[in-house]
Chain A
């Protein structure tokens, strides 16, 4: 239970992938114009992250490490992520065309979303992940990896939903012409990131 809480707090707040580690900025700024599609994007990324951890962790631990070809990790992970995204895209098109249209170009872009690759790389780095969630380095297993992937996705969702909420409000404000649109979004992102740094003190 203590480990579970540590994973939640670590993945969602202290080491939030977007606003603390600055990974996955592309969808964070691109799909955060309205809350609904931002939430959809968050869910898709969460799903991809969880599945990625579920598949990459055993492949790394039980295939790459025994064969002593750990250097292949990035190529193999990108392979896997691309395949998962491809499958999700087809499934979404079939079951939720609305969400599919709302996400548009950003859905294939999850393939190259560094937050997803980031979480796959993080969970195999046994010593670092163990120190992040406060367990002994040897006791890392697939359960922790999948949980961390899940809550890293939740962290992404939280960040992007906060961001889209702020942007929806800012869109109605009277702001200087030179700051309208993207510049004010960057400034907003900066303040959200500063707010999240408070958690680093925990």
Chain B
């Protein structure tokens, strides 16, 4: 007589099943152990130690696929630790100890070398994709100054830390408090306007135009005309004029801001 959901247990069959499962387990366990011995991947202790000290932001600013890729490149000596922005100086020092190399680097911040934006006139009306990369394809962008910020926000879109925004004057603006100096914006800006400067820097040049003074005047109300007054009045001789632009040597700059006061175009700015 049979009832639903009730079956008699055949003890012999039970033992056969148990024995079979046990046998298969043992055989495959042996195979897995064998394969794992044969295919053991040598774990690089250096690499994992480096990765523990990295910020783990995976921002890609260093140019590698992520922090683990960067750690691998570091361990192999292919990468430079200073190309990582987010990692704290303390941890970088630890990594340098792991790698057995000397380390000295100051924290950095990014700066946009342009103050044109709305002060710079347009050469044509642009309707289309916002992206600077797209806009710059059409005759180098809509701005009359071929060096200046287009204001399309490619850097803003690529910043992993929300440190960038387009300011009221139509130029990309960096929030120093949020910037981790990862360098992604430096690479993405089609006009190469963004640069990493020492965190202690007090002033920066807000123009990248290498044109002669008259051409700058025609295109932009706030561009540098390369007059050289800043270089002349700098008490530390920290400024030289190259390609109609002042270049600041931050190791010499004392932060007196004489240049800021003297600049007739107000294109040397304080942070």
The answer to whether the Cβ of A173 comes within 8 Å of any Cβ in the partner chain is no
- Identify which of A63, A75, A87, A95 contacts B31 (C-beta below 8 A): A87
Q: Mark B29-59, 1 if CB is under 8 A from A, else 0.
A: 0011001101111000000000000000000
**B21 and A90 contacting across the interface, CB-CB below 8 Å:** no
**B31 and A94 contacting across the interface, CB-CB below 8 Å:** no
Q: Mark A83-105, 1 if CB is under 8 A from B, else 0.
A: 10011001101110100000000
Classify the secondary structure of A's interface with B.
Answer: helix
How many of A's residues come within 8 Å of B, CB to CB?
A: 20
Given contacts A69-B13, A79-B25, contact A91 B35 (CB under 8 A): yes
Q: List 7 A-B contacts (CB under 8 A).
A: A63-B20, A67-B16, A69-B20, A87-B35, A90-B39, A94-B38, A97-B41
Please indicate which of the listed interface residues B25, B31, B39 has the most CB atoms of chain A within 10 Å of its own CB: B39
Number of A-B contacts (CB under 8 A): 44
**A93 and B39 contacting across the interface, CB-CB below 8 Å:** yes
**B20 and A90 contacting across the interface, CB-CB below 8 Å:** no
Nearest CB in chain B: distance from A128 CB, A: 25
Q: Report, as a range, how many residues of chain B touch the other chain.
A: 10 to 19
The answer to whether the Cβ of A68 comes within 8 Å of any Cβ in the partner chain is yes
Nearest CB in chain B: distance from A101 CB, A: 9
Residue ranges of B at the interface with A (Cβ–Cβ < 8 Å): 13, 16-17, 20-21, 24-25, 28, 31-32, 35-36, 38-41
A60 to B47, CA, bound (A): 46
- 8 tightest Cβ-Cβ pairs between the two chains A and B: A94-B39, A83-B28, A87-B35, A90-B39, A91-B39, A90-B36, A67-B16, A94-B41
- Identify which of A68, A80, A87, A95 contacts B24 (C-beta below 8 A): A80
A97 to B13, CA, bound (A): 45
Residue numbers in A under 8 Å from B28 (CB-CB): 79-80, 83
A68 to B13, CA, bound (A): 8
A69 to B32, CA, bound (A): 26
Please indicate which of the listed interface residues A59, A64, A87 has the most CB atoms of chain B within 10 Å of its own CB: A87
The answer to whether the Cβ of A201 comes within 8 Å of any Cβ in the partner chain is no
**B20 and A76 contacting across the interface, CB-CB below 8 Å:** yes
Complex: chain B residue closest to A86, CB-CB: B32
Please indicate which of the listed interface residues B21, B25, B31, B36 has the most CB atoms of chain A within 10 Å of its own CB: B36
Q: Mark A38-74, 1 if CB is under 8 A from B, else 0.
A: 0000000000000000000001000110011100100
